[in-house]
Structure 1
């Protein structure tokens, strides 16, 4: 891990295509700007981890069970409609 100290207005280059700018410092918060090619994905770590966790959860879903539940709910709703129509 590389640790650098930067002041407001200074930047860091990563390779030829990425530059990270320090735009503002307020208390314990630092606002940064990132200049990178459009094809590069830039995501906050907490958002990245949420997406990854959701992918894992989706992989564990049994689609056949979901289909059966949906089918049962639809049938149940149809029966309720028919009963209401009879009243």
Structure 2
């Protein structure tokens, strides 16, 4: 992991088109602004992990042939 120190108003550039800017620091919270192309999804980590878990669960669930047949009628 790369650890960088930034002050309010300073930025970090990732690749050619993602910019993270420190907007505010209050106690143990940091407000970050993200400037990235709309095609790049941005999630909080806990939400991203929930999405991955849901996708894994859906991929391993069994659906009967009859249930699939009924979906397409």
What TM-score bracket applies, with the shorter chain setting the length? 0.7 to 0.9
Query: Deviation above 3 Å: which 4+ runs of structure 1?
Result: none
The aligned residue for residue 47 of structure 1 is: 47
Q: CA deviation at 1:60?
A: 2.3
Give the alignment's TM-score, normalised by structure 1: 0.68
Counterpart-to-counterpart distance in 1, 2:16 and 2:38: 14
Structure with greater strand percent: 2
- Larger relative contact order (C-alpha < 8 A, sep ≥ 6)? 2
Whole-Å separation in 2 of the counterparts to 1:63 and 1:55: 15
Gaps of 5+ in 2: 68-73
TM-align CA RMSD:
1.8
Gaps of 5+ in 1: 68-87
Aligned length: 67
Higher normalized helix content (fraction of residues) = 1
SS class of match (2:64): helix
Q: TM-score, normalised by structure 2?
A: 0.80
The 1-side partners of 2:7 and 2:56 are apart by 40
